[in-house]
Amino acid sequence: MERARQRLDHLWRRGRDFLGTELAIMGGAMSWISERNLVAAISNGGGFGVIASGSMAPAQLAAEIVATQALTTRPFGVNIITMHPQLDALIDVCGAARVGHIVLAGGLPPSAAIKRAKDTGAKVICFAPALVIAKKLVRSGADALVVEGTEAGGHVGPVATSVLAQEILPALATQLPVFLAGGIGRGEAIISCLEMGASGVQLGTRFVCANECIAHANFKRAFLRASARDAIPSVQVDPAFPVIPVRALANKATRAFIDFQHAVIARYRAGEIEQKDAQLEIEHFWAGALKRAVIDGDVENGSVMAGQSVGLVTREQSTGEILAELVDQAAAVLTARERRQPTAI
């Protein structure tokens, strides 16, 4: 096992060096979930926790960073949504707090935002849902990429992680660190990602049932009961009224959303409302729905965002145990292979 661990350290050395961590495992930034307690626990366990700033105001983010720094002395990052109206101010907050890594997500970040983040001294990580975007981000100065497939929870694109990996890793993995995300819940998958050329991985769903996660007990129970096929993307009923797909556990709210879209579109077609107002109503259906589920525990009327790896979440554990389990699973793959055919490190 010691030799396998050395081999694992070799495989993800670039990711470890980039993050400054023992393990090249990033925590996915999940709104209302990836706050000080879980972020610090992931970092203290050897991984790389990431604060989900979401819709926080600059003062809120500053307080969250300070609170996280009080719980861990190890590296962690901050995820900032590029569409946030105070994007520049949030970047400046990270700079003032000497955050070492800034993750720009939720859309293609402007080159100016990447430069502003880099000027704070931080390393900048961006999300790349396609090769053409990945190349643009590299030209704009991104220091690392996260390539996230449709298997992930929350807002997702249409392409699987395995396909994106084949598209992007051969083209860019030699230029900068690339982390794979979406549907990763066991160490065997981590080894697969690393051997394809990834520098590390990002996991979100796997950490929801960590003891340190503040999610409501009802939210965690929903995860423990769910299987992969229960995590479905939100349904769009009319291409004239686009819906940004969000993967979450099917519940009363997901079914109501379909009926709601039909009702709003019928009002538009009857001439009762303008198209832009109908679109706005559809978009506002989920306002506050994630907090309703995560914090209040209303898992029927809220949004229970989860990736397809939710079926691999079978019990509550400490964050440290989850990370150790992932590493043991990864090392076991390498040990079994070495027994079949010894290879040099």
Q: What is the pLDDT along the chain (345 residues), one digit of tens a residue?
A: 789 999 999 999 999 999 999 999 999 999 999 999 999 999 999 999 999 999 999 999 999 999 999 999 999 999 999 999 999 999 999 999 999 999 999 989 999 999 999 999 999 999 999 999 999 999 999 999 999 999 999 999 999 999 999 999 999 999 999 999 999 999 999 999 999 999 999 999 999 999 999 999 999 999 999 999 999 999 999 999 999 899 999 999 999 999 999 999 999 999 999 999 999 999 999 999 999 999 999 999 999 999 999 999 999 999 999 999 999 999 999 999 888 875 555
C-alpha dihedral over 142, 145, 147, 153, to 10 degrees?
Answer: -90
User: Which residues have C-beta within 8 Å of that of residue 70, sequence separation ≥ 6?
Assistant: 36
Task: Supply the pTM of this predicted model.
Answer: 0.95
Which of 90, 74, 78 is CA-nearest to residue 35?
78
Which of 83, 20, 19 is CA-nearest to residue 53?
83
Supply the pLDDT for residue 171: 98
CA 23 to each of CA 183, 185, 254, 259, 260: distance values in angstroms, whole numbers, following the listed order: 19, 15, 36, 45, 44
- DSSP letters, 252-270, are HHHHHHHHHHHHHHHHHHT
Catalogue all structural domains in the chain, each as residue range(s) with its CATH number: 2-212+318-340 (3.20.20.70), 217-308 (no CATH)
Supply the pLDDT for residue 2: 86
Token digits of residue 174: 């030699």
